[in-house]
Structure 1
């Protein structure tokens, strides 16, 4: 499997290819982890200014903004919806054009944002543990299953992994799977 490597050649993210013959729950969880790791790889080896760089004008999208956004998405689906937790946003609304974590705050470092993202992923995994895919939770007057949430999250991460590919390539030429 090809991976992009920082200038020093060190890669600390170990991305696992999802199994090809596992049961449905294992397959969905593995694909979600694969895309989570893809985003981590796209950010690895970059410094704070690079992670904050909107490298594909006219878009203001940044790798750090993607991390913050996906922190909010993890929290929304796996905590608020699936587990019914009443938790506030990690990144409060800025009133800007790109809410839901996309807008960067001066007082939140890349290290803090990466830590918050990893913590939300850990909570998401705990909230999924022991649940069957047919488990449901209320969502805007309907019910959504854990299967639906996994599928939605895989699509969310895959879409943003494509954005991350472009941003990273524009920052330092880094490409890879």
Structure 2
């Protein structure tokens, strides 16, 4: 039997809520949107690139967002000392590039795990809590910034995912 990406039911975004519930609701909506764009596709379809010369794939986006969840919530905000999941010194864009032998089922499971670990890292922590970013400029940021940035990151990549999915099988929207 051929593996296909599982179906996803998205959460409803709160229409009137406090700041934390609103940020978490929108982030979960966008997390689930990426998975929705992959639902029902085979491993080979998830490896299908958008259009030449781009090599962007849905599998690459799944892996990238697992890296981003890990990077911002756990490594930056929570200060955990972790290795990257897919990126290495020899392959700094391994999340996007090293897909020939990549296991899509494992990538989906890894994204789910990183989302849960991100939730745990942020749970019961104040949105105003600050940290110094590990990125080159080492700027002081707060947890609120991480939520807003993650919503932006998913929203941008969900636009890419929509175009890739349309190319694969014509499915749009969602």
Same topology, TM > 0.5: yes
In 2, Cα distance between equivalents of 1:109 and 1:94? 21
Which residue matches 2:107?
Answer: 113
Question: Deviation at 1:142?
Answer: 2.5
Instruction: Report which structure shows greater RCO (CA 8 Å, sep ≥6).
Output: 1
Q: 1:153 to 1:63 in 2, by over 3 A?
A: same
* SS of residue in 1 equivalent to 2:132: strand
8 Å CA contact retained: 1:74, 1:121:
yes
Matched, 1:16 2:7: no
Report the number of matched residues: 166
Alpha-carbon RMSD: 1.6
Q: Look up the SS of the partner of 1:158 in the other structure.
A: helix
Secondary structure, aligned partner of 1:144: strand
Q: What's the offset of the Cα at 1:57? A: 2.1
Moved over 3 A (4+): none
Q: Which residue of 1 aligns with 2:3?
A: none
Q: Secondary structure of the residue that 2:141 maps to in structure 1?
A: strand
CA apart distance, 1:104: 2.8
The one-character-per-residue Cα deviations of 1:48-79 (angstroms, maximum 9, x if unpaired) are 00000003222100000000111110010011
1:148 aligned to which of 141, 145, 148 = 145
In structure 2, what is the Cα distance between the partners aligned to 1:141 and 1:160?
25
d(CA) in 1 for partners of 2:114, 2:74 = 9
Q: Select which of 126, 136, 157 maps to 1:132.
A: 126
Match of 1:40 in 2: 35
Question: Aligned residue for 1:28?
Answer: 23
TM-score using structure 2 length: 0.90
| 1:162 counterpart residue number | 159
Tell me if the contact between 2:67 and 2:85 (Cα under 8 Å) persists in the aligned partners.
yes
- Give the structure 2 partner of residue 90 of structure 1: 85
Contact preservation (8 Å) 2:60, 2:99: no
Which whole-Å CA distance do the structure 2 matches of 1:57 and 1:107 have between them? Answer: 21
After TM superposition, give the deviation of residue 100 of structure 1 in Å: 5.6
Q: Which runs of 5+ in 2 are unaligned?
A: 1-5
1:176 Cα offset (Å) = 1.7
Q: State the alpha-carbon separation in 2 of the partners of residues 17 and 100 from structure 1.
A: 33
